[in-house]
Every structure is written in structure tokens, then in C-alpha cells.
């Protein structure tokens, strides 16, 4: 009995220690970002967030174009990916949840999640960008190919496995008794999915979508290769632009002054805060959906 109690006590304390380590890591990252960006915020103040001009030669640093570029690409990718991820999740979780076909498709989805982002970037550069260029020609738009739309497309492909995998597991966890009760009352399969499966699993499905959004906001390499790397405010979905992550990847090694470095670290802080706010809002929505 004493051994069991000692094991339980030790397990609880180890979990508390791990939680404190995680909290300490978040605080340490936040401290480094705040400390490193203090020079930029002291010099520019709020205009660092609202400014539209990023010109290291003239010493002007405004991050609004990159904030807009990050949000546009991430949310557009999310909108594109949701129909595909939900279709995959429903098929693997409800229609083909057992057997060889399910195992093959599940393995393929997991393989997509494990492909390095640079591989996605190469594929998008050689195959996806020409398709976008063809679409732009048909729409009488300058056929640049690279831009926000191309970046959103490759991001959508990259985040589909994350939301689809979580939604699939949530759908499989819906109690069989609920579905059988609905069938016994004369519900069709579509009605069972619409009125039982999705309402019961909506909080878990939404959690997977928020995880995919976080992945889209922080993606760097694939976006850098196809977004066009233009440091101006985008005026359309086909405009070349930049995200915070892609700008950091492109310019951090070239920073030659303390203000330049501080401004880049400030962009990292902005991305950190954006991600934290989206996660916080997502958790609030998940709690409401759970109720």
C-alpha cells in the first residue's frame, strides 16, 4: 500500500515539475523576445505595428504588411483545407474505419504530415506555381505565379494531415450506442453524421483545426519559396507578399545594425503574441462548443 502511495506521490510531483518546466520555457522565450525587441519598440512605439514601410537602408521598420501577409495566408489556407480534411476524417472515421483500405489511407495521411516543408516548397515551385500562373492568365492578371494564393495553397496541403488526423480520431471516439440509437429511430447515415457524429465531436474537431492554424502561421520554408518575398502591403490574393516567418528567414542573417536585429526580434515577438492570442481564443471557443 505504501509503495502504491509513494508511486502516486512521485508521479504527481514529476507531472508538476514538467508543468513548471513548460511554463518556465514559455516565460524564458517571451523574456528573450521582449528584451531583444526593446530598442525597436522604444524608437518606433506603436508605429512598429501599424507602419507599412520596411526599409533597412533608411532605418524604417513597419511590420503591418507582414502581419497582414501572415494572417491572409494562414486563414486562406485554413478555409481551403477544411473541406478536404473533414472529408478525409469522415471517410476514415466513419466509412472505412477498419481494414486494409483504412490502413493504407491512414499511412498516406501520416506520410503527408511527415514530409519536410522544403520538399513541399520545391514541389510548389515547379508544379503549383505554373498552375497558378495559368489561372492568372485566364483572369487577366499579371502571370507572376508566386504570391499569397500560391503560399495559401501549399499551406493548405501541408496542414490537411494535422486537422484530418485529429478529426478522424475524434469521430472514431463517438459512442457507438448514440449512432445505433439514431439508426433505430430511422435516421439515415447522412443524418447520423450531421446530427450525432459532428455535434458530439465538434470540440475535438475544432481543436484540430486550431492546431492546423498554428502550424500555418509559423510555417517558414515552403512559404518563403512561393510567396514572392515582397515587403509591401498586399493589395490582392495574388500579390507577392511576405509573412513574418519568411521575412525572418530571409533577412535575419543580413541584419547589420542593432536596430535592424531588434526590429526582426520584434517581429518574432509579434508572431509569438499572435499565436498565443489565437490559441487563447481557440480554447475559449472549444469550451463553449463543449458546453
What's the predicted TM-score (pTM) here? Answer: 0.85
Show me where the domains of the chain are located.
65-290
So what's the pLDDT on residue 138?
A: 87
The proportion of the chain whose per-residue pLDDT surpasses 90, expressed as a percent, equals: 12
In the block, which residue shows the cell 481494414?
99
Query: How would you classify the pairing of strands 54-55 and 60-61?
Result: antiparallel
208, exposed or middle or buried, with CB in 10 Å at 0-12, 13-18, 19+?
Answer: buried
The proportion of the chain whose per-residue pLDDT surpasses 70, expressed as a percent, equals: 95
- Domain range 65-290, CATH class: mainly alpha
So what's the pLDDT on residue 289?
A: 64
So what's the pLDDT on residue 8?
A: 56
Average pLDDT over residues 207-234: 85
With left for phi above 0 and alpha for psi between -120 and 50, is residue 59 left, alpha or beta?
Answer: left
Amino acid at each position: 500500500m505504501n509503495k502504491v502511495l509513494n508511486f502516486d506521490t512521485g508521479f504527481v510531483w514529476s507531472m508538476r515539475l514538467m508543468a513548471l518546466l513548460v511554463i518556465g520555457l514559455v516565460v524564458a522565450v517571451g523574456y528573450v523576445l521582449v528584451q531583444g525587441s526593446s530598442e525597436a519598440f522604444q524608437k518606433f512605439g506603436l508605429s512598429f505595428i501599424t507602419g507599412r514601410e520596411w526599409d533597412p537602408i533608411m532605418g524604417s521598420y513597419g511590420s503591418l504588411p507582414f502581419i497582414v501577409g501572415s494572417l491572409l495566408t494562414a486563414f486562406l489556407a485554413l478555409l481551403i483545407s477544411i473541406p478536404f480534411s473533414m472529408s478525409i476524417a469522415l471517410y476514415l472515421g466513419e466509412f472505412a474505419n477498419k481494414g486494409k483500405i483504412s490502413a493504407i489511407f491512414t499511412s498516406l495521411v501520416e506520410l503527408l504530415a511527415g514530409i519536410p516543408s522544403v520538399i513541399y516548397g520545391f514541389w510548389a515551385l515547379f508544379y503549383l506555381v505554373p498552375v497558378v500562373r495559368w489561372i492568372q492568365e485566364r483572369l487577366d492578371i499579371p502571370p507572376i505565379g508566386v504570391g499569397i494564393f500560391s503560399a495559401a495553397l501549399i499551406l493548405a496541403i501541408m496542414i490537411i494531415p494535422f486537422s484530418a488526423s485529429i478529426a478522424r480520431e475524434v469521430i472514431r471516439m463517438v459512442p457507438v450506442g448514440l449512432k445505433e440509437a439514431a439508426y433505430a429511430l430511422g435516421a439515415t447515415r447522412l443524418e447520423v453524421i450531421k446530427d450525432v457524429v459532428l455535434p458530439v465531436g465538434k470540440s475535438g474537431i475544432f481543436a484540430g483545426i486550431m492546431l492546423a492554424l498554428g502550424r500555418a502561421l509559423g510555417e517558414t520554408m515552403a512559404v518563403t519559396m512561393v510567396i514572392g518575398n515582397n515587403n509591401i502591403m498586399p493589395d490582392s490574393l495574388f500579390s507577392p507578399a511576405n509573412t513574418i516567418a519568411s521575412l525572418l528567414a530571409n533577412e535575419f542573417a543580413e541584419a547589420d545594425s542593432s536596430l535592424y536585429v531588434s526590429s526582426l526580434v520584434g517581429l518574432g515577438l509579434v508572431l509569438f503574441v499572435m499565436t498565443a492570442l489565437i490559441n487563447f481564443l481557440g480554447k475559449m471557443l472549444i469550451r463553449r462548443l463543449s458546453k
